Amino acid sequence: HWPPRRVAGIFQSTKKLFLSERAGRGRTLEFIRKNAANGLSVANLVAGLSSVLCSLNRQYHHSCWLLLVGFLLDLADGAVARQLDACSALGAKLDDFADFTTFGLATALLLQPQGVLDGLLAIAYVMAVFTRLCFFSTGIPFTYRGLPCPYASSLLAGTFLLTGGNVTLLRVTAIVMILFMVDQGFYPHDKVLESQLWKKVVYAGGVLAVLFSPAAVASVYCLAWSMSYIIFPFAIWSCKA
């Protein structure tokens, strides 16, 4: 038989090891909870930077696909942050930077600026996104002023894919989106993943369309989704949690 002191020592060591492992697991879970939304923002940022590189290499179809992926990531980002109660100033800044990169710079490059006027249009689009993100705040809960830039980006990416890269039509669409973004009319917060079941089904359909469907199907789906929000924001997408 082992001496009682040795048995007690082994018991205490085992208990400390178990408690330390449980505390470590708790810290890991808390870290994941606090940074899950930030991880989605970083993924959105990476998608935007990858889209920029694709556009610079004239691989515009890949760039459009990455923009649509960023659109889905951005919708999930806010929902995860709110559901996990992990909203923070750092997370908000990271999300804005990712949105500016993906839905501003990367989207503007789809316009394929060749001359001075084309370059000015691309700059105007980027500045419209910058203005929308930085200066259009509202005191009304769950309400935006000006069209949220992810929807404008999704519309442009879908238009590019559906028309086979018709630059003239794309530039006209971009001008219209600039007007929608700088207009201070109200848009409701869609809260797709935190509202009625049909909105969650729309999101799930978007994921399936973007990741597993042909480009034509994905573009039509995202075009219909974005246009329904842009044209009928309150009639269809007003949040009813």
Number of domains in the chain: 1
H helix intervals, the chain = 4-56, 60-83, 89-99, 107-108, 116-135, 149-163, 167-182, 197-212, 215-231, 233-237
Domain CATH for 120: 1.20.120
Please check whether residue 44 is in contact with residue 99, taking contact to mean a CB–CB distance below 8 angstroms. yes
| Structure tokens belonging to residue 198 | 């049909």
Q: What is the pLDDT of residues 32-47, one digit of tens each?
A: 667 778 889 999 999 9
Establish if 223 belongs to a structural domain. yes
Provide the domain limits for residue 24: 9-237
Least confident of 2-16, 86-100, 158-172: 2-16
What pLDDT, on a 0 to 100 scale, did the predictor assign at position 208? 96
Establish if 1 belongs to a structural domain. no
| Structure tokens belonging to residue 47 | 């998608």
Establish if 2 belongs to a structural domain. no
Establish if 90 belongs to a structural domain. yes
CA 143 to chain centre: 17
Distance between CA 155 and CA 230 in Å, rounded?
10
Q: What is the pLDDT of residues 148-181, one digit of tens each?
A: 999 999 999 999 999 999 999 999 999 999 999 9
Establish if 117 belongs to a structural domain. yes
Strand residues in the chain grouped as ranges (E): 143-145, 186-188
What's this model's pTM, rounded to 2 decimal places?
Answer: 0.84
Q: What is the DSSP letter of 110?
A: G
Distance between CA 219 and CA 231 in Å, rounded?
18
What pLDDT, on a 0 to 100 scale, did the predictor assign at position 14? 62
Mean pLDDT of the chain: 86
- What is the band of 79 on the pLDDT scale with cuts at 50, 70, 90? confident
Please check whether residue 96 is in contact with residue 135, taking contact to mean a CB–CB distance below 8 angstroms. no
Establish if 3 belongs to a structural domain. no
Distance between CA 236 and CA 222 in Å, rounded?
16
